[in-house]
Structure 1
């Protein structure tokens, strides 16, 4: 039996509510391209899919054409200019992180967001120096759903996968966590859309609120063999 000593979080839709700023960047780009803005409710479920997913929402098939590179650059420039305008930790996250630290445990971030966006965002929110490890989408050659970023986070902090849990709000997060051999939880408060069926992803549990994670951390974890 292993105590859960390292808690890893996805970033967008799990640790930080970045949807307001990402939606603002998309609508600003739509306006610049002569399109009508989209309702926030239509954009929010797609934020975890990054720039590519948001461009598909905003521009449809046009977002996947040869012009997509220009649109992606323009979107990311707009987003980078206002990374933390309205982005904040989800309600309950600040208290959860403090409790993890007070217990002498460690927490970190594993995200597919590139480092040039991840690290400034965490710094602006005062979380960068508190995280035991930050693994971005360009830290390694592999990204989630590959388990390599999660295993790398474990190696950097000296924790075994069986001592680690991962929390995310996308199916690829659960797939990566399971493949890494760690208990994995779905943040239902994140950016899930009607096409998502998290109860079918094989997660250890579904979390309605960050507080729901704590009872699971308080119980020893069974040893899981890494494939």
Structure 2
């Protein structure tokens, strides 16, 4: 794909793209499992790979044979524990700081579109010092429907005061690529994110697939 000369905005998925939140999520999972006296049947590497699938994905990975009722109980407990550990161990991925600095220097507007609820999203971004940089922060409960629906993407574009075609969306899950395509945003697959072994990102149709956030700099014409 050639350079992206019209990119005036960057939107990020949160977990597995902008921030490595897996350590906090996994710690909350361990606490929830301990609360119910359940073992974790998955190793940490596998849990990290499914972290983008949220609390339900983590519980199912740790206890795949648990019935639906108990799975939901553990999931709710995980969310409660996550409130107390959110941001304790999370860090932006290597290279994100350089990409954000480049964007700010070149007046490229920044934002986040995530399926994480606002009660977790905003405290995390604030703890990491990212909130002042973001012109738009769209969480799971900001719109009626979540990604891959177009509602959160359109709202973010509106808040950036840009056309979707001027905004690159970075994400590490298929729903991110679909959401960007549905609203005609250039899509960037974050190869540094939480891709599981069974994922087939080559079939998702991203406009770009990158191994590091700084790789994007070569595609933005400034």
Same fold (TM over 0.5): yes
Identify the residue that residue 225 of structure 1 maps to in structure 2.
none
Q: CA deviation at 1:214?
A: 1.3
Structure 1 runs of 4+ with >6 Å offset: none
Aligned to 2:168: 165
Deviation, 1:2, is 6.0
The answer on 1:180 being equivalent to 2:178 is: no
Residue 117 (1) aligns with residue 129 (2)? no
Aligned position for 2:89: 86
Contact 1:185–1:207 (CA<8 Å) still a contact in 2? yes
In structure 2, the residue corresponding to 1:25 is in which secondary structure? helix
Find out whether 1:52 has 2:59 as its counterpart.
no
Query: Which residue among 212, 216, 225 is the counterpart of 2:215?
Result: 212
Q: Structure 1 unaligned segments of length 5 or more: list them.
A: 220-227
Q: 1:200 aligns with which of 176, 199, 203?
A: 203
Indicate conservation of the 8 Å contact 2:49/2:194, yes or no.
yes
State how far apart, in whole Å, the 1-side matches of 2:85 and 2:191 are: 26
- 1:41 matched to 2:38? The reply is no
The aligned residue for residue 15 of structure 2 is 12
Match of 1:76 among 73, 76, 79: 79
SS of aligned partner of 1:185: strand
Query: Are the equivalent residues in 1 in contact too, given 2:46–2:196 (CA < 8 A)?
Result: no
| Secondary structure of 2:86's aligned partner | coil
Kindly provide the CA deviation profile for residues 174-224 of structure 1, in whole angstroms up to 9, marking residues without a partner as x: 0000011010010011000111111111100101000111122227xxxxx
Shift in alpha-carbon separation, 1:61–1:147, aligned structure 2, 3 A: farther
For residues 176 and 206 of structure 2, the distance between their equivalents in structure 1, rounded to whole angstroms, comes to 10
Q: Would the aligned equivalents of 1:2 and 1:162 in 2 still touch at CA under 8 Å? A: no
- Specify the alignment match of 2:139 in structure 1: 136
2:130 pairs with 127, 131, 146, which one?
A: 127
Partner SS, residue 186 of structure 1 = strand
* Matched residue SS, 2:157: helix
Correspondent of 2:150 among 147, 152, 156: 147
Alpha-carbon offset, residue 136 of structure 1: 0.3
Report the TM-score, using the length of structure 2 for normalisation: 0.94
Q: Tell me by how many angstroms 1:69 deviates.
A: 3.3
SS in 1 for 2:56: helix
Which TM-score applies when normalising by structure 1? Answer: 0.92
Please list the CA deviations of residues 7-49 of structure 1 after superposition, one character each: whole Å capped at 9, or x if unmatched.
0000000000001111111122222222234421120011000
